[in-house]
């Protein structure tokens, strides 16, 4: 991700550039949300598979 400097030559130009920058940032935020959701789901799907089985024998006693 890169930052862009917005020129303030005229109010109209800066307003249009600002609007475009906001749209670009919203798109990037949406993409990041999708990535975070995919990672979150992947982690918890893997965790659920690992913890489906109940402990066997003395596995539930951590002092043995």
How does pLDDT run across 7-44, given as a tens digit for each residue?
A: 556 566 688 899 999 999 999 999 999 999 999 999 88
Q: How far apart are CA 53 and CA 37, in angstroms?
A: 26
The backbone torsions φ and ψ at residue 3, rounded to the nearest 5 degrees and listed phi first, read -95, 140
Q: HSE (CB half, 13 Å, CA atoms) of 5?
A: 3
9 against 64, higher pLDDT: 9
Closest CA relative to residue 21, chosen from 40, 35, 38, 1: 1
pTM above 0.85, yes or no: no
48: pLDDT strictly greater than 90: no
pLDDT of residue 28: 98
For residue 64, pLDDT over 90 is answered with no
């Amino acid at each position: 991700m890169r930052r862009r400097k917005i020129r303030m030559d005229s109010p109209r130009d800066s307003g249009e550039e600002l609007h475009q920058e906001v749209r670009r940032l919203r798109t990037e935020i949406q993409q990041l949300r999708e990535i975070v959701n995919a990672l979150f789901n992947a982690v918890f799907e893997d965790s659920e598979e690992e913890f489906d089985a109940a402990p066997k024998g003395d596995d539930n006693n951590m002092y043995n």
